[in-house]
Each structure stands twice: as structure tokens, then as C-alpha cells.
Amino acid sequence: KELNKQRESYLHRKVRLYNGYRHNLASNDYFQLRFHPKVIAGAQTACEKYGSGSGASPLLSGFLSCHNDLLTEILNWKQKPFGMLFNSGFVANQAILKHLPGKNDFILADRLIHHSVAQALMQCPAKFKRYDHLDLDSLEFLLEKIYGNYDTIFVVTESVFSMDGDYPDLKALVALKKRFQFVLVLDEAHGTGVFGQNGGGLADEMGVLPEIDILVGTLGKSLASMGAYVLANNSSII
């Protein structure tokens, strides 16, 4: 019955295969690197050397030298000392926001935050509230109400919001962080490659990268592959 209601309301989702030539305006492969000969050759070489899969979970024997090399490159690129690799950005956001905040913590998230974060907020033990989209006055108002009442406050936002391409004033957000001492979590999925020196992202572009406590990014989109990473200023995430 519920599925029928969704179909009648045009809310039922269906995967479509488009045949023939189309102009693709929905792709997030911003630089078309998935067709670059060096990227394709690198993938072929990796498969020949390491196989088509890891063969085990990272905790057993599936964390290979290529994974370690990749993580080291990302840490140097994003100027962070600690990090972990994940199989998708969705899983990365879920892992961090479902398990890091505790029951005595509070999370404030942008109202238009990605669905992966929204789902995690519904399942984590911490209380949460959303502030108006990109409205730092709204965020400041909520911070003033809860400051001092919880062990840790987390503020979560994206750098570039994928639907509209808008982005927060990260310098002003960092100024709020200095006042209220919250943990700043930034999802750079759509900012990486587009902003910053050498594509380092919006936080790099605005000169606040050291102030971002937890940085989430994807190996898809600009990087034309799959997987994700979470980086941090301390070892709490690992």
C-alpha cells in the first residue's frame, strides 16, 4: 500500500538505462578523469599487481600497501595527521556521526546536509538540531542556547552543496568555532578538485584547513574512482 502511494505521488525511484547519445548534465565527474588514459592504465596496473579486490577486511589482511600509499598521499595533500579509508562517502559519514558523538553530546547540522549525514543523525546517541541553510546567525543562536550544557558540540556542514553549488563562509564558521569550542566536521565531497591550490578543497581555498577538526572526502567525483576518506587533527577517529 505504501509503495503504491509512492508510485502515485511520483516518489517511487527507478534506475534508468539511457540508450543512444545524450548530453549528461547530471554527472559529478567534474574533470572527466574516468576516461583519462593514465587513470585507466593505473587501474589496470593495480589489478595486475594486487588483484581485483582486497581479499579480506582491513582489520584482517585486506589493508594493502597500495591502500597505505593512498592514505599517505591524501594526508599530505589535505595536511592532516590522521585518517582512515572507507568504501564510500555514505559509509564514511555514517561511521563518524553514528559512533563518535556520545549521548552527552549535541550535533548541529546544516538543514540541507547530505542524506548520509541525516540518516546518521537519526541513529546516533547524541541529540541534534538543524540550523537554517548557510545561516550562521541561526547557528550562533542555537550555539548560545546549548553551549555549556553538553560534553561536546559538533557542527556539521558540507563545503559545496551538490544540489545548488552554494557553500558556507568557512572563515566566519571558524570564528564561531573559536568562540564556542565545537568540533567542526566538513564534508568536502564536492569541493575537492574544484577549489583550493592543487584542488585541495574549499577549506584550503579559504585558508582554514588547519581549523577543520574532521574532514570527509570522496575518491569519486573529481577523483573519478570510488571510496572515501575521513581525516582528522587527532587520533580519535582511528
Query: pLDDT (tens digit, 0 to 9) for every residue of the chain, 238 residues total?
Result: 787 787 777 777 788 888 888 888 888 999 999 999 999 999 999 999 999 999 999 989 999 999 999 999 999 999 999 999 999 999 999 999 999 999 999 999 999 999 999 999 999 999 999 999 999 999 999 999 999 999 999 999 999 998 899 999 999 999 999 999 999 999 999 999 999 989 999 999 999 999 999 999 999 999 999 999 999 999 987 7
The yes-or-no answer on residue 190 being catalytic is yes
The yes-or-no answer on residue 114 being catalytic is yes
Amino acid at 111: R
pLDDT at 139: 98
pLDDT at 23: 84
Which residue among the candidates 162, 164, 166, 234 is catalytic per the annotation?
162
Give me the helices (H) in the chain, please. Answer: 2-8, 37-50, 65-78, 89-99, 115-123, 136-146, 170-180, 202-205
Which residue among the candidates 105, 110, 187, 205 is catalytic per the annotation?
187
Which strands form 214-218's sheet, in the order they lie side by side?
82-86, 228-232, 214-218, 183-187, 153-158, 106-110, 127-131
Question: Is the Cα dihedral 209, 210, 216, 217 positive or negative?
Answer: positive
pLDDT at 237: 75
pLDDT at 157: 98
Domains and CATH numbers, the chain: 31-55 (no CATH), 64-237 (3.40.640.10)
Which residue among the candidates 105, 158, 188, 205 is catalytic per the annotation?
158
The yes-or-no answer on residue 2 being catalytic is no
What's the whole-model pTM score?
0.92
CA distance 111 to 158: 11
Which residue among the candidates 80, 93, 110, 114 is catalytic per the annotation?
114
CA distance 134 to 95: 24
The yes-or-no answer on residue 115 being catalytic is no
Here the cell at position 218 is: 570522496
In 3D, which of 170, 174, 173 has the Cα closest to residue 195?
Answer: 170
Which residue among the candidates 188, 211, 221, 222 is catalytic per the annotation?
221
Here the cell at position 94 is: 555514517
Q: Which helix (H) or strand (E) holds 187?
A: strand 183-187
Which residue among the candidates 78, 110, 190, 204 is catalytic per the annotation?
190
The yes-or-no answer on residue 14 being catalytic is no
pLDDT at 233: 96
The yes-or-no answer on residue 158 being catalytic is yes
Which residue among the candidates 12, 28, 104, 169 is catalytic per the annotation?
28
Strand partners, 157: 186
What does residue 237 show for φ and ψ, rounded to 5 degrees? -80, -15
Strand partners, 110: 131
The yes-or-no answer on residue 8 being catalytic is no
pLDDT at 3: 79
CB atoms within 10 A of CB 221: 23
